[in-house]
Structures are given as structure tokens and as C-alpha cells.
Structure 1
Amino acid sequence: MIFFGCLIGIITTAMCLRILMPIAERIHLVDLPGGRKQHESVKPLVGGIAIFIGFACAMLSLPISLIGYRPFALGGLLLIFMGILDDMHEVSPHARFGAEIVSALIMTVWASIVITNLGDLFFAGEIRLGFFSIPFTTFAIVGLINAVNMLDGSDGLAGSLIFVQLFLLALTAFLAHLIVEAKVIVLLMGALLGFLYFNFPFSKKRTARVFMGDAGSMFLGYALSWFATGLSQAPRSAIYPVGILWILSITIWDAFRVILLRLFSKKSPFSSDRNHLHHVLQDRGFSPKNICFIIAGSNLMFGLGGVLALHLGVSSPVLFISYFFGFLIYCTGMRFLQTAR
């Protein structure tokens, strides 16, 4: 059954892309070359729309009630709509953040998917957020959505990295015997595979033919937030919250480092630069395909390490402290890559 659902997701996404790509060029829903961009031709920005449709069709193959996923669909549609507007007309940051906050509130208030417990991070017992649960969760969701968007800067990168992170979340759900949740995540992976067939840089001659656009990065960031929060909190509690940090390690580390650098330079945290990991690797001469393998592979290694450590009984505080030192090592490595000749 799950194989059939994945097949539906892959085929539907691919078919949607075939239909939407020529339409995108006619309505100017495209990314033009020039400036800091690496591509040399016009690229349709319809990947996110196709992924959403493919995932929705795949979900219909599951013999379960989909009522609980209505908030997910509404929040996702809102972000896709805002992403399309941004891709076509470059809406203001205030409008983007407004849509992200509303989608986050749909998740927290309507779906009741909220971070209420951070676990034991400092050997001082569990940290319960109480009244701060909804504001904290909203901040985390908006932060992750934008962190995913920041990494969407090289052919195949965002899709490959999110695919790995979804795999780790599906593995977490499976190990906790949450089979339905694992199947839902796998179906989204299937839809993402249909997109990656058109987006992954398989060779120098076969580069990305389509981009996911802001619609795709915002929706997939929202999806990661939904599954990560749901699996780390009651009633599912498939993994301690610190495990989620390891599963999303590269995305969080990259965004946090870049924002800190901008703040230290007295720049807006939302300004553009070439301090992201994929930019640094591009400047060092790595091909888009190798950048995907390096970043997605590193995240897979860190994520598997975190999940395995928790299942072997390593305490949350030890993993949290290790995560902090991992971030310091990451920053040191980035500094070396940027300065070494």
C-alpha cells in the first residue's frame, strides 16, 4: 500500500511539473538568471505547487481519516499562495512573515501541535514552557521556514536535504511504532522524489530544469515543522526534542551562523550575502551535485548519530551540549573554508 502511495506521489508530481512548466513561462512565474544566481537560463518556479498536489493525491491512498490534516492543508496552501505571489511580484517581508505566522497559528491553535516541553537540556529537569508554548512554537516554525528558504540556493540542494530530514523523521516514527505517521512522511518523500527528478543536477549537461520556488521552500519548511513538532511532543513523543535538533542540524546551524554574522556586521539578518554553506562550497569550486552530496550526506550522518545516541540511552543534556560543540566545530570549519587558499 505504501509503495502504491509513493508511486502516486512520484507520478502525480512529475505530471504536474510537465503541465505547469510551460504555463509558468507564459505567466512569468520563473527565476531569471543574473546577479548572484548560478543558473544561466530561465527556470520555472512551480516545484512547490507540484509537490503539494502530488502529496495530496498520495494521501488519498491511505485508508485513514484525513480530518486531522485539514490544518496542515490550510496552512500549507496559505504558504504556497504567498510563495507564488513572492515569486512573481516580490511581496514585502512583512506580508511573508504575516502569512508564516498565520500558518504557524493554524498549526498550534487549530491542530494543537505545540512545543510544550523542551526536555532536560541542562541536567536540571524538563523545561516546560507553559504559557510560552504557543509563542515559542510560532517563533520556531517561522524560523525553520525561513532557514529552509535560505538553503534553497543551489540545484537540488533544498530538495535533497529535506528528503534526508524527512527520512530521519520517518525512521524516528517507525522506531516508535507510529506507523501511520511514518507512512505519511514517506508519501511526502515520494512527492519530493518526483520533483528531484527534474531538479537534481545529475551532470554538467543535465542541470535543474525547474525550481521549487518560495512556494516550495515555505511549504516544505512548514511540513518539517509539523512532523518534527508532532513527533517530539506528547501524545506521540517518539523522540526527545534535542533529537530534532540533530535531525535538522545543517539547516539550523547554517541559518544561525549566517544571522549571527550579519548581526555582528550591523546588517539586517535578512540581507543577502555569500556566507551560506552552499555559497562557500561553490566558491571553493564544488559542483552542484557534490554540494548536494556533501550537505545532505553530512546532515544524514549527524541526524543518524543523534537518533542512535538517544536509542542507546545517551541523555538529553549530553546530546544538547554535544550539539552546541558541534555548532562551534561547524563554524570553525566554515571559517577555514572561507579563509584557506
Structure 2
Amino acid sequence: MREHMVLFITTFVLTLLAIFILIPVANRIGLVDKPHGRKQHVGAIPLIGGISVFTGVAITLSVFGLPGDTHWYYLLCGGTIVILGVFDDFLDLSVKIRLVAQVMIALVMMYGLQLYVGNLGDLFGLGAVGLGYVGIPFTVIAVIAAINAFNMIDGIDGLAGMLSGVSFVSLTLMMGIGGQLEHAVLPMVLVFALIPYLMFNLDLVGKGKGKIFMGDAGSMLIGLSVIWLLIVGSQSDSASFRPVTALWVIAVPLMDMVAIMIRRIRKGQSPFIADREHLHHIFLRLGLNSRQALVVITSLAAMLATIGVVGEYLMVPDLIMLLLFLLIFALYSMSLQYIWRITRFVKRYKAKQRAKKNS
């Protein structure tokens, strides 16, 4: 335990130092997010959260390492996705370039882990559903989905960091209890790397002068890290949880991405265009401020992840866990279809309450 605390504290300190060093560098070279269009923040904000997190994690893993030498492949894939994200932050890369790079990263990840999603679990009560070699393209799609789910939901301060924190803590618990103690270290290393980022991103230090954003480099790194751990935790010989549980660990980002993409396709739009229809935008239109929306969405993610973890250790049948997840997703999707009516109803109700108070 003592050596683990040294590992975690080292990650925290290195990430914190990276933030202090990279803020002036980002301002000097123009790696900043300026307010325009959908972005309503004040001033140019350095996009160095993801680079700082990766720096802290990379140096820590290079010194302490992880079992089986898989950390070198993780650092290779993570470093590549961070570089891709930095170029995207600078140049706003096309969707095709990003997707090609993400496919290549997914293939390297599978080669490094010697794993892919080849088993979906006992979804129908008839035995494990094996994918065979179909699992390879399935895994590529899963990697792209996870990367872009966290990238898409990174819309208000702290959201991507907090949601990934929920996922990483859930993975640590399941891997630790399930016997994958050596693999449980990485998600906690990532948690301790995220803490300094959240301190600056949420203005808990610096009083606004040290504010930073995660950038595409950070949100894509988080998505890659989550899917990396989900595959290790559900597909390896020493798997600590079932594949269906993975859905609950990333429930909010996954449901938000899929529902939004389906809605865009129905409108005849590209599923990758940016808009203001995500879950956090809905809460903001309902009258919550960004901090309140952060608390509500994080609480929702924690609740869903808890259902997954509890269902895993009570051995609730895979089919029931899947159907329950699909039911919640269906309710979420239906809510999106009627969100404008819900928003108008809430606003009218609030207006009536204010009128009663003033009368």
C-alpha cells in the first residue's frame, strides 16, 4: 500500500508541475481556446489539461511501470492520441483524419494487449456469445466510440474529468475485488493525475488566472484509457467483470453520444457536427448553472456505475442488466425528443412560482 501511495502522489505532483510549466508555454505558442460561437467562456484558456495529465502519468509509468510491460503500449497509444488531439486543437482536423488515426491506435492497442472484444458474455442465458474474428472490427468501433464519447461530452468545466473519475474509480473497485490487483493501479494513477487538472479547470486555485481546459488531447486520452481498462477487465483470462458491466461504467457519455448521433442522422445532419444538444446543454437551458449541471450529471453517472458494480457482484443475469440498460437508454432518448416541451414546462412553472412570491 505504501508503494502505491508513492506512485499516486508522484503522479499528482508531476501533473501539477506540468500544468505550471505548460500554461505560459501554451499562451506563448497559441495553444489556447478563444471564445467564439458556441464557446462562451471569458478570455483565452490554455488547452493543456490533457498534455499535463499524460505527462504526469507517462513519467510515473516510465519510472515505476506496470505488470507485463503493457504500459509501454499504453504510453505509445496514449502519446499518439495526445499528439493527435494537440494537432486537432491547433488545426481543427477533419473527421476522416481523426478516424483514421483512431483506427490505427485501436489496432496497436489490440496488438499490445493481445486482446480484443471476443466475448460479450452470457447475454441470452444460452452461454457466452463469442464474436470470433468479428471481435476485431467490433473492438475498433468500441475504441472509436469511447474516444469520441468523452470528447463529445466535454462541454462544461470539469465534466469530462469528473465522469472519467467515476469510471476509473469503478474500474479500480472491480479490478481490486475481482483479483486484478496489478491492473487496478492504472485507473487510480489516472485519478490522481486528474485531480490537479480539476483544481485548475474548476477555478479551485488561481482565482481564474490559472484556468485551463482539457482540450481534445485530454478528452480523447481519457476515452482511450477507459476502453483500454474495460477490455483488460472484461476480456483477459483474469477478467474481473462481465462485458455487460462495461456499459454501466461509461453509461452517461455513451448514452449521450449515441442518442445525439441518432438525432442528428434523423435530421439529415452529419453525426459528427458540433451542436448544443448534449445533456449538459439541456440542464443549462433548464436554468441550472454549469456547476449545478456538473453535480447533477456526475451524480447520475455515479448512480448508474453503482448499479453496474452492484449488479456485477450480486451476479444479476447478463440479460437483465442489458435490458435494464437499454430501458434507461430508451427513456433518455425519449426525453430528448420532448426536451423542448419539458424545458418550456419547467420555465413556465418557475415563472409562476416567482410571480406568486412577488404577489
Q: Same fold (TM over 0.5)?
A: yes
Partner of 1:196: 198
Partner of 2:330: 328
Q: 2:94 aligns with which of 89, 92, 95?
A: 92
SS in 2 for 1:313: coil
- 8 Å Cα contact 1:250/1:299 also seen in 2: yes
Matches of 1:208 and 1:278 in 2, distance apart?
Answer: 24
Matches of 2:70 and 2:333 in 1, distance apart?
Answer: 40
SS in 1 for 2:36: coil
Partner of 2:304: 302
Equivalent residues, number: 340
Structure 1 or 2, whichever has the larger Rg, is 2
Partner of 1:240: 242
SS in 2 for 1:179: coil
What do residues 117-166 of structure 1 show as CA deviations (whole Å, max 9, x unaligned)? Answer: 00122333321110111111011101110111000111111011101111
Task: Report how far residue 207 of structure 1 moved.
Answer: 9.1
Q: 1:338 aligns with which of 334, 337, 340?
A: 340
**Is 1:55–2:57 an aligned residue pair?**
yes
Matches of 1:12 and 1:139 in 2, distance apart?
Answer: 33
Matches of 2:211 and 2:30 in 1, distance apart?
Answer: 15
Instruction: Tell me: CA distance 1:64–1:84, structure 2 relative to 1, closer, same or farther (3 Å).
Output: closer
Task: Report how far residue 337 of structure 1 moved.
Answer: 4.3
- 8 Å Cα contact 1:33/1:41 also seen in 2: yes
- 8 Å Cα contact 1:100/1:142 also seen in 2: yes
Partner of 1:228: 230
1:89-238 to 2 correspondence within 5 Å? Answer: 89-200=91-202, 206=208, 209-238=211-240
- 8 Å Cα contact 2:230/2:246 also seen in 1: yes
Q: Which segments of structure 1 move beyond 6 Å, counting only runs of 4 or more?
A: none
Matches of 2:313 and 2:301 in 1, distance apart?
Answer: 18
Unpaired runs of 5+ in structure 2? 345-359
- Calculate percent identity across the aligned residue pairs: 32
- 8 Å Cα contact 1:231/1:237 also seen in 2: yes
Range 72-81 or range 55-64, more displaced: 55-64
- 8 Å Cα contact 1:155/1:208 also seen in 2: no
TM value normalised by structure 1 = 0.95
Matches of 1:331 and 1:80 in 2, distance apart?
Answer: 32
- 8 Å Cα contact 2:67/2:182 also seen in 1: no
Matches of 1:12 and 1:62 in 2, distance apart?
Answer: 13
Instruction: Tell me: CA distance 1:201–1:330, structure 2 relative to 1, closer, same or farther (3 Å).
Output: farther
1:272-287 to 2 correspondence within 5 Å? Answer: 272-287=274-289
- 8 Å Cα contact 2:80/2:105 also seen in 1: yes
Matches of 1:299 and 1:98 in 2, distance apart?
Answer: 30
Task: Report how far residue 175 of structure 1 moved.
Answer: 1.1
Task: Report how far residue 236 of structure 1 moved.
Answer: 2.2
Matches of 2:19 and 2:40 in 1, distance apart?
Answer: 22
The one-letter code sitting in structure 2 at the alignment partner of 1:163 is: G
- 8 Å Cα contact 1:262/1:268 also seen in 2: yes
- 8 Å Cα contact 2:260/2:277 also seen in 1: yes
What do residues 171-230 of structure 1 show as CA deviations (whole Å, max 9, x unaligned)? Answer: 110110211111221111101112111112559x75981011011111111100100111
Unpaired runs of 5+ in structure 1? none
SS in 2 for 1:119: coil
The one-letter code sitting in structure 1 at the alignment partner of 2:237 is: P
SS in 1 for 2:121: strand
The one-letter code sitting in structure 2 at the alignment partner of 1:93 is: V
Matches of 1:190 and 1:58 in 2, distance apart?
Answer: 11
**Root mean square deviation of aligned Cα:** 1.8
Partner of 1:24: 26
Range 252-261 or range 309-318, more displaced: 309-318
- 8 Å Cα contact 1:5/1:61 also seen in 2: no
SS in 2 for 1:181: coil
Q: 1:269 aligns with which of 248, 252, 271?
A: 271
The one-letter code sitting in structure 2 at the alignment partner of 1:122 is: F
